[in-house]
Structure 1
Amino acid sequence: MKIISQYYGSILILGRSNAGKSTLLNTLIGKKISIISHKINTTNYSITGIYNKGSYQIKYIDTPGNIFYNNNIINSLKNNEYNYILFILDRNKWNFIENKFVKILNQTNIPIILILNKIDKINNKSILLPYINFLKNKIKFIYLFMVSAKYKLYTIDINNIICKNLPKKKHQYPKNYITNQTEEIILKEIIRESIIKYLHKELPYLIDIKVFFYKKFKIIPNKIKIFLLIKNINQKKIIIGKNATTLKLIKYRSEKSIEKFFKKKINLNIWIKIK
């Protein structure tokens, strides 16, 4: 019997907050596992997503926008623990934040793939060539992709080129494995994404989300009770909103997103409690 070779590699995604790292991760693996928001610092810890295609398997790691004091990530870069780095840029934005990333990237020998994201928002395409020349003087990279992660423009080329350059190595995850996040964490993140959408400023980050009795179920149940733990009555009033409008919007959006992810009908009960 012919033995089919397997190819595997790990890829670290770096870039400023709101550059589109989470959107790119979701697009690359074909599944929404990382929450997306126009607000900065939505992702506050690393998230792993697994891409599987035949004999190829890619482990993508999405990182927070501010990694500059994260010793684990910094040391992993210095130790060359990844096959490639995807350094994602928000269009032609470049300031001290990108310079800080370049300083870190110069300490590693990992090949860099540059991703110029949100090209759908660049109306004057004539700026791209001068910007690319600028990038060549700033950072060493082996490939450059101009994409729109949101609209899935040219993102398939990223997976294709990485697969062509993966080393022969046994797959590290089962074929049906998608993410390192548990179902409970995914539930919480989906709800948090809805909260971020409908609430303003720092309040979404102060809410503690608890899934009630979730661990008693081997599979996600149709009825889920969620507690939003907050500090005072004023926060509770803001979350509920006038005539409970805000809470209804959070509930409706969360239910639809959970149903889409888990492919089953969900009845979500949200309770707000003061700690």
Structure 2
Amino acid sequence: MDKTKSGMIAIVGRPNVGKSTLTNALVGEKIAIVTNKPQTTRNRICAILNRGESQFVFLDTPGLHRARTRLGEYMVGVVRQSVADVDAVLLLVEPIANVGAPEEELIQRIKALDMPAVLAVNKIDTVKKDELLAVIQTYAQAHAFAAIVPISAKDGEGVDELLEVLERFLPEGPRLFPEDMITDQPERQVCAEIVREKLLLCLDKEIPHGTAVEVTKFSQREDGMIDLDATIYCEKNSHKGIIIGKGGAMLKKISTLAREDIERFMGEKVFLQTWVKVKENWRDQVNLLKNFGYRDE
């Protein structure tokens, strides 16, 4: 009988490089929320994949960026902590033949911790082969990566090859999580994140980054229907008006999109009610950050 292998792999990179899209592609389920806006991921999200006798535990981390608020500092801290706690690091980069400041900082951290690291070059569907080779060469000079794998997280290209490479770094040992688990996030946390994803998708500019979502009610009826109450917090009264929209149209759109995704995730019908409240400067208030689930480990 094959011996079981189980290990943790941190997925790191700059904001908007495709970490959450890759996490979902690796696990084959929507665990992490995905938008085309930077800093979509705020917490470290744990996604679990069982493949044969191997269990991969992927940590999808926030993008490494310059912190401007307490929330920003928390997110940068999550990235740095995640790199220190794992069996291997997967650095995800765009197909640009230049090592940027966030990549440089992550490479220095990998070197300092003497951590096995694999480089995945994402979005290969957007460049020609000779451009891709230049990217690979540039990063190969920056660090002795255990492997460099070109991928397209969006199309799934190269994802199986990447898993085969990463499997080499899993230590022998029992599974860290039960076989039927796909994330360690509580269901209500996943539901709150789905509502926040729809805010990011539907709203412009800075407004969605100033929002947080708290699930205040999560209960199941005898017929299986889930009752879900979610409060959306924003930083300004003017933002509240935009989130609600004319005649409540925007909030209805956000809620409908969120409910459809939550029903897919839960496998049950959902009755979702949403409210919008103003909490000024919540991103700089430690007690509020803790309430919204941004806790230091």
Normalised-by-shorter TM-score class? 0.7 to 0.9
Secondary structure of the residue aligned to 2:200 is helix
> Counterpart of 2:170 in 1: which secondary structure?
coil
**Structure 1 position 231, deviation (Å):** 4.8
Map 1:77-88 → 2, pairs under 5 A: 77=83, 81-88=85-92
> What letter corresponds to residue 15 of structure 1 in structure 2?
G
Residues in 2 aligned to 1:211 and 1:151: alpha-carbon distance in whole angstroms: 33
Equivalent residue for 1:94, pick from 92, 95, 99: 99
Q: Which residue of 2 aligns with 1:112?
A: 117
Shift of 1:66: 2.0
Distance 1:189 1:76, change over 3 A: closer
* Secondary structure of 1:42's aligned partner: coil
Q: Aligned runs of 1:166-177 on 2, under 5 Å?
A: 166-177=170-181
* 8 Å CA contact retained: 2:10, 2:82: no
CA contact (8 A) 2:99 2:138 kept: no
CA deviation after TM superposition for structure 1 residue 187, in Å: 0.5
Superposed displacement of residue 166, structure 1: 2.7
Retained in 2: the 8 A contact 1:67–1:73? no
Distance 1:173 1:140, change over 3 A: same
Q: Is the 8 A contact 1:6 1:170 kept in 2?
A: yes
| Structure 2 residue aligned with 1:16 | 14
Q: CA deviation at 1:12?
A: 1.2
Which residue number corresponds to residue 202 of structure 2? 198
Q: How many residues align?
A: 269
- With over 3 angstroms needed to count, the CA separation of the structure-2 counterparts of 1:83 and 1:153, relative to structure 1, is same
Q: C-alpha separation between the residues in 1 aligned to 2:220 and 2:264?
A: 20
1:1-275 alignment runs, 5 A limit: 4-66=2-64, 70=76, 74=80, 77=83, 81-92=85-96, 94-122=99-127, 124-214=128-218, 217=220, 221-274=225-278
- What whole-Å deviation, never above 9, does each CA across 1:212-242 have from its counterpart, x for those lacking one? 332x559984332222234554222101223
The CA distance in 1 between the partners of 2:16 and 2:79, in whole Å, is 19
Q: How far has the Cα of 1:149 moved from its partner?
A: 0.6
What is the TM-score normalised by the length of structure 2?
0.82
* Corresponding residue SS for 1:174: coil
How many percent identity over aligned positions?
Answer: 29
Call closer, same or farther: CA 1:6–1:224 in 2, change over 3 Å.
same
Q: Is the 8 A contact 2:63 2:79 kept in 1?
A: no
Identify unmatched segments of 5+ residues in structure 1.
Answer: none
When residues 266 and 73 of structure 1 are mapped into structure 2, their CA distance, relative to the original with a 3 A threshold, is: closer
Return 3-12 or 175-184, whichever deviates more: 3-12
Stretch deviating more after TM superposition (12-21 or 235-244): 235-244
Paired residues of 1:13 and 1:86 also in contact (CA < 8 A): yes
CA distance in 1, matches of 2:266, 2:23: 18
3-state SS, counterpart of residue 107 of structure 2 = helix
Mapped contact 1:16–1:66 kept (Cα < 8 A): yes
User: Counterparts of 1:110 and 1:9 in 2: how far apart (Å)?
Assistant: 14
Query: One-letter code of the match for 1:180?
Result: D
Whole-Å Cα distance in 1 between the matches of residues 99 and 243 of structure 2?
36
Q: Tell me if the contact between 1:48 and 1:59 (Cα under 8 Å) persists in the aligned partners.
A: yes
Distance (Å, rounded) in 1 between the aligned partners of 2:212 and 2:267: 26
CA distance in 1, matches of 2:237, 2:198: 21
Aligned-partner residue type, residue 263 of structure 1: G
- Partner Cα separation in structure 2 for residue 4 and residue 146 of structure 1: 29
How many Å apart are 1:114 and its aligned residue?
A: 0.5
Code of the aligned partner of 2:100: N
CA distance in 2, matches of 1:241, 1:221: 28
For the 8 Å contact 1:77–1:107, the answer to whether it is kept is no
CA separation of 1:67 and 1:8: change in aligned 2, threshold 3 A: farther
